[in-house]
Amino acid sequence: MVAPGLTDATRTALAELLLSLADDEFVIGFWDSEWTGIAPMLEEDVAMSSISQDEIGHARALYELLASLTDADADAIAFGRSPGEFRHAALLNHARTDWAFTIARRFLYETADATRLAALARSSYEPLANLAAKMRREESYHLMHIETWLRRLASGTGAERLRDALTRAWPDAQAIFTPLAGEHELVRSGILPEPLTDLRTRWAERVGSVLGELGITLDAAVVADDGRTRRTDEFEWLHGQFTMVAASEEGATW
């Protein structure tokens, strides 16, 4: 137990926050790792693979932090749950789809994550603040990469596909900021320095300004209450893949 002084209610809320952060990184890392070996160009293949590995690395650090709170094991949290127990945002329920969707989703996700991490770097829970600061160092590269791609596609013959993909991803992207159970407690204790609703406003402004420059506008969207609990067949399929070996033999070490 590394967080003495936290009340049970705070600890439960903190666990929920860490799980949502970790699951976001874990699931997007899995979908995007699927590009390894088949991306549009060999050079880009290696770049996208690194980014997906970074996300899995971040998920691992977050699961470990969570595991230290709950006296569990990071791998057991990642690979030992049923689909319904995952807490990633609905944006990440969708399959890899195509390159346009991957770029659109990554852009919305990376900008949201940057907004979220900037706040969490000021968290009163020091292990999380430290981890967020460390993650931001890698995420800033992801942001550069994805904005380069966004601009290239928006100014080329792929512009229409990109626009369609952004339109498709936009409503579910709101779910990154779906209020958490116990969020009030997190804000009160300074673990989450600002409510997710405020972060969402800042994120939407940032997205609007980048896309505005590219002549893309997205309709207003609402935050669904079940944004982090809704699951899809596509995610069920992914879950079946990533638990295939891990669940194949009770108690085995891999």
**N-terminal to C-terminal alpha carbon distance within the chain:** 27
List the interface residues with other proteins, window 144-163 (CB under 8 A): 144-145, 148, 152-153, 156-159, 161
| Residue 161 or 206 having the CB closest to other proteins | 161
- 214 touches other proteins by CB under 8 A: no
Helices and strands counted in the chain (H then E) = 9, 0
Contact status: 131 vs other proteins (CB under 8 A): no
What is the smallest separation between the CB atom of 150 and other proteins, expressed in angstroms? 12
Tokens linked to 154: 């928006």
**Residue 254 interacting with other proteins (CB under 8 A):** yes
Determine the size of the site formed for other proteins (CB under 8 A): 53
Dihedral angle sign, alpha carbons of residues 66, 67, 71, 75: positive
CA distance to 12, 15, 42, 54, 138, per residue, from 32 (Å): 30, 26, 15, 11, 16
> Is 4 in a helix, a strand, or coil?
coil
Answer for which of 1, 2, 41, 222 binds other proteins (CB under 8 A) is 41
Residue 85 CA: distances (Å) to CA of 16, 23, 26, 97, 164: 11, 10, 14, 24, 31
Among 33, 68, 189, 229, binds other proteins (CB under 8 A): 33
CA torsion through residues 159, 164, 167, 173, sign: negative
DSSP string, 218-241: -------TTTTT---HHHHHHHHH
Half-sphere exposure of 163 (CA within 13 A, CB side): 14
Q: Which is nearer to other proteins, 30 or 177 (CB)?
A: 30
Chain positions 73 to 112 lying near other proteins, rule: CB under 8 A, are: 74-75, 78-79, 98-99
From residue 43 to residue 72, what is the string marking binding to other proteins with x (rule CB under 8 A)?
xxxxx-xx-xx--xx-xx--x---------
Query: Among 111, 88, 87, 91, which residue's Cα sits nearest to residue 172?
Result: 91
- Smallest distance, other proteins to C-beta of residue 70, A: 17
Q: Give min distance, CB of 38 to other proteins, in A.
A: 4
Among 6, 11, 36, 133, the residue binding other proteins under the rule CB under 8 A is 36
Task: Name the site residues for other proteins (rule: CB under 8 A).
Answer: 30, 33-34, 36-47, 49-50, 52-53, 56-57, 59-60, 63, 74-75, 78-79, 98-99, 141, 144-145, 148, 152-153, 156-159, 161, 238, 241-242, 244-246, 248-249, 251-254
